Amino acid sequence: MTDRTGQCLCGAVKFKATNMADTFSTCYCDACQRWAGGPYNGVSVPTENLEYEGHAHIGVIKTTDFAERAFCKECGSGLWWRLTRGQYVGKTSVPVGLLDDRSGLVLSDEMYSDYKDHTNVRPEGVAQMTSAEAEAVVATFTDGDTK
Ligand SMILES: [Zn+2]
Ligand SMILES: [Zn+2]
């Protein structure tokens, strides 16, 4: 268990999580892929251990009879997935990508693994572009500002 911090893309919503699991789960279900734009990597934390800043910027949508998903109203980042019925109520799944520091997190399991398709596989030898290479391209159309 680790204490971690994170934020959405624009920074309007920030959070602190205490005793967050050191494992994360990847889900390939249709809902997660549509929400996250691809496989969803989530880390679980007791909801009571989450403290958010920027509540006015948080939108919550009930996506099924048993779950809700939240997002930043300013930038659209997904903020959490949370069951509202059943045995896992009281836990929140936070997107791994929101965390400021992902060190020590280990993949524990994959859900809806039968939904995994060829786009979810990373073949050996696929072209790689580093952040420096990508930012050099971005700098050519942003007067050097790459963020
Ligand atoms: Zn935001
Ligand atoms: Zn899912």
Query: Would residue 18 count as lying in a domain?
Result: yes
Query: Would residue 20 count as lying in a domain?
Result: yes
Q: In what order do the strands lie in the sheet with 58-64?
A: 58-64, 67-72, 78-83, 91-95, 40-46, 23-27, 106-111
User: What was the pLDDT predicted at 147?
Assistant: 67
Query: Would residue 87 count as lying in a domain?
Result: yes
Query: Would residue 144 count as lying in a domain?
Result: no
Strand 106-111 to strand 50-53: parallel, antiparallel, or no bridges (unpaired)? unpaired
Segment (H or E) for 137? helix 131-139
Q: What's the token pair of residue 96? A: 């791994």
Query: Would residue 145 count as lying in a domain?
Result: no
Q: What's the token pair of residue 44? A: 């679980």
Residue of 98, 103, 110, 100 whose CA lies nearest to 32: 110
Ligand nearest to the CA of residue 12, numbered in listed order: 1
d(CA 41, CA 26) in angstroms, rounded, equals 4
Low-confidence residues in the chain, pLDDT < 50:
none
pTM beyond 0.85: yes
Separation of CA 62 and ligand 2 centre (Å): 14
Ligand nearest to the CA of residue 81, numbered in listed order: 2
d(CA 96, CA 93) in angstroms, rounded, equals 9
Separation of CA 32 and ligand 2 centre (Å): 4
Separation of CA 136 and ligand 2 centre (Å): 35
Query: Would residue 106 count as lying in a domain?
Result: yes
Separation of CA 41 and ligand 2 centre (Å): 9
Phi and psi dihedrals of 11, rounded to 5?
90, 0
d(CA 135, CA 44) in angstroms, rounded, equals 32
Beta-bridged to residue 43, according to DSSP, are 24, 94
Percentage of residues in the chain having pLDDT higher than 70: 99
Please give the residue range of the domain that contains residue 19.
Answer: 2-139
Query: Would residue 102 count as lying in a domain?
Result: yes
Count of C-beta atoms within a 10 Å radius of residue 41: 19
Query: Would residue 60 count as lying in a domain?
Result: yes
Ligand nearest to the CA of residue 8, numbered in listed order: 1
Residue 42, domain CATH: 2.170.150.70
- Domain count of the fold of the chain: 1
